[in-house]
A and B are shown apart, each in its own frame.
Chain A
Amino acid sequence: MGDLSWKDFLSQAKQFLEISQKLGDNWILEQKDSNEPNTYLKCSQKIKCRGGKDNSAELVSVEYHVVFSVSYQVPMLFFQAHRSDGSLLDVEATWRMFMPESKASDLHQILTQMDHPVLFRPFMALHPCRTAEVLKQFGKPSCNQVLTFISLYGPHVQLHLQNAYGLSQEYT
């Protein structure tokens, strides 16, 4: 279990958002209502992926959400990927495109489809079991766990932050 409270998540998400705005990045804060955990960070991007059944390159639209987990007290990364024809990538296609090197048996414990905790619609999610442990491994406690989390977990699913995020001295 992590030590990030809901209030800490909110304030750190807002700090992250400020950095994003300064850098001209496209993160936004979505607020469904003021209840926990109904505010989350969101961004979208298009990526070119190889991994269709015929291994052809494909342009995919991905929407990422960073949502607070009440149970684990850590951020979680959710995403949905759509093809250019609007169809949703299913679990197998998502695995092929985003984690082509991983074994299927491992993927069942790493990346699966589950209900988004705010929207209650199907999203792919990186499992949060070890997030708290990973975030604690830093010698110096992170001043912004949301930023640290996105930096560490995002690249596994093609979400990369500009290096400039790390140069914002007041937050790292």
Chain B
Amino acid sequence: MAHDREVLRMIWEGQIGICFQADRDEIVGIKPEPFYLMISRLSYLPLVTDKVRKYFSRYISAEHQDGAVWFDFNGTPLRLHYPIGVLYDLLHPEEDSTPWCLTIHFSKFPEDMLVKLNSKELLESHYMSCLKEADVLKHRGLVISAMQKKDHNQLWLGLVNEKFDQFWAVNRRLMEPYGDLESFKNIPLRIYTDDDFTYTQKLISPISVGGQKKSLADLMAELSTPVRRAVGCRTHGIDLHEETQLQWMSEHLSYPDNFLHLSVDYKDV
């Protein structure tokens, strides 16, 4: 539907204002001015921060020039393989509308906490493995495995170059139920409840036992236990209405890795 395409477009164009600042322990000489940038919610920090790295690398010592770059927010290292919108929604206080202040580092990469993604190839490999995982959940992996290498490349390049039409020309096939089915087999989901980046995965069918299309309310019921009730859910920075259908959410509110990254609020009963 035309209206739904507008939703895809708005999701695609979501941006976050970020203020990058230097790690004062790494600076040699004069402290550099912060670097402000509008960044796509759907992308990954390593893909969009070349300019930032070049800017700050002029202020650090020669020995750290080739160090693995990483970022933190208030002391929390940021996962380079999580979409930027997911990191922001988990960490940035909702009531604060100022730019998100991140610190860039060129040394002391926290190897015990962060997956190191030194090259674009490693990040691409991670992205492709997410797509495969999502497709295994949706279509038993049949759609992604039927694609050619050039289709995979087009998805990746569409994301890297922020080209909506290029990306969706291929992603459309991943977002349709297979054959004559009406829905996906399972919904690719990652459910976050804390700000520590851990998530839960469950096999969630978009169709109820009685054959009805499940809504977000049904998902929250499945996630609830006798002691803890799921009461709210957000993604892409918006609160979702509980009557929204899961199949529709998966088709329209997923990130380019084809996962719904949902933050769920719980209340103790």
For the complex, is A18 an interface residue (Cβ under 8 Å from B)? no
When the two chains form their complex, are residues A121 and B129 in contact, meaning their CB atoms are under 8 A apart? no
Question: Judging by beta carbons under 8 Å apart, are B115 and A122 in contact?
Answer: yes
Chain B: residues with Cβ within 8 Å of the partner, total of: 30
Given contacts A122-B113, A122-B115, contact A112 B125 (CB under 8 A): yes
A129 within 8 A of B: yes
Chain A positions 125 through 145: 1 when the CB is less than 8 Å from some CB of chain B, otherwise 0: 001010000000000000000
Chain A residue contacts of B129, Cβ below 8 A: 112, 114, 127, 129
B83 to chain A, nearest CB (A): 14
Given contacts A71-B137, A112-B122, A114-B129, contact A36 B202 (CB under 8 A): yes
Which of B126, B200, B201 contacts A114 (CB under 8 A)?
B126
Cα A88 to Cα B115 with chains together (Å)? 12
Using C-beta atoms within 8 Å of the partner chain, give the interface range for chain A: 20 to 34
Total cross-chain contacts (CB, 8 A): 61
* Cα distance, A121 to B79, chains bound together (Å): 10
Q: Across the interface, do B114 and A35 meet the contact criterion of CB distance under 8 Å?
A: no
Q: Contact at A71–B125, with CB atoms within 8 Å?
A: no
Distance in angstroms between the alpha carbons of A166 and B136 in the assembled complex: 31
Q: Nearest B residue to A122 by beta-carbon distance?
A: B115
B126 & A112 in contact (Cβ 8 Å cutoff): yes
Determine whether B203 belongs to the interface, using a CB cutoff of 8 Å to chain A. Answer: yes
Distance to closest chain A CB from B26 (angstroms):
21
Q: Does A161 contact B (CB under 8 A)?
A: no
Q: Please give the distance in Å from B181's CB to the nearest CB on chain A.
A: 15
A113 x B197 contact (CB < 8 A)? no
A35 to B129, CA, bound (A): 24
The one of B113, B114, B141, B188 that contacts A1, using a Cβ cutoff of 8 Å: B141
| B234: interface (CB < 8 Å) | no
Give residues of chain A (42-72) contacting chain B, Cβ–Cβ below 8 Å: 70-72
Kindly list chain B residues whose C-beta atoms are within 8 Å of the C-beta of A122. Answer: 111-116
Q: In the complex the two chains form, is A88's CB within 8 Å of B111's CB? A: yes
For A35, A91, A114, A129, the residue with the greatest tally of chain B CB atoms inside 10 Å of its CB is A129
Task: Identify which of residues 136-159 in chain B touch chain A, using a CB-to-CB cut-off of 8 Å.
Answer: 136-137, 140-141
Given contacts A91-B116, A114-B129, contact A35 B200 (CB under 8 A): yes
Which residues on the A side are within 8 Å of B118 (C-beta)?
91
Tell whether A90 is near chain B: CB-to-CB under 8 Å.
yes
Asked if A115 is at the interface of the complex by the 8 Å CB criterion, the answer is yes
Q: Kindly identify, within residues 24 to 52 of chain A, every residue whose CB is under 8 Å from any CB belonging to chain B.
A: 35-36
- Among the listed B113, B128, B188, B200, which residue makes an inter-chain contact with A121, where contact means beta carbons less than 8 Å apart? B113
Q: Name the residue of chain B whose CB is nearest to the CB of A36.
A: B202
Contact of A88 (CB < 8 Å), options: B112, B122, B203 = B112
Chain A residues, Cβ within 8 Å of B121: 108
Chain B positions 104 through 116: 1 when the CB is less than 8 Å from some CB of chain A, otherwise 0: 0000000111111
Q: CB of B261 within 8 A of chain A? A: no
Select from chain B the residue with minimum beta-carbon distance to A80: B112
Residues on the B chain within 8 Å of A127, using CB = 129
Bound-state Cα–Cα, A120 to B133, Å? 17
The answer to whether B122 touches A108, judged by C-beta atoms less than 8 angstroms apart, is yes
Check A129–B122 contact: CB distance below 8 A: no
Q: Chain B nearest CB: distance from A121 CB in Å?
A: 6
CB–CB B126/A72 < 8 A: no
When each residue 77-91 of chain A gets 1 if its CB lies under 8 Å from chain B and 0 otherwise, what string results?
000000000001011
Establish whether residues B202 and A129, one from each chain, have CB atoms under 8 Å apart when the complex forms. no
Decide if B116 touches A129 in the complex (CB within 8 Å).
no
| A and B contact pairs by CB, cutoff 8 A, 12 listed | A1-B141, A36-B202, A71-B137, A73-B203, A91-B118, A112-B125, A112-B126, A113-B122, A114-B129, A115-B79, A115-B81, A122-B115
Residues of A that sit less than 8 Å from B by CB: 1, 35-36, 70-73, 88, 90-91, 108-109, 112-115, 117, 120-122, 127, 129
Apart from A71-B201, A91-B122, A129-B129: 18 A-B pairs, beta carbons within 8 A: A1-B140, A1-B141, A71-B137, A71-B188, A72-B133, A72-B136, A88-B111, A91-B118, A108-B122, A108-B125, A112-B125, A112-B129, A113-B116, A114-B81, A114-B126, A114-B129, A122-B113, A122-B116
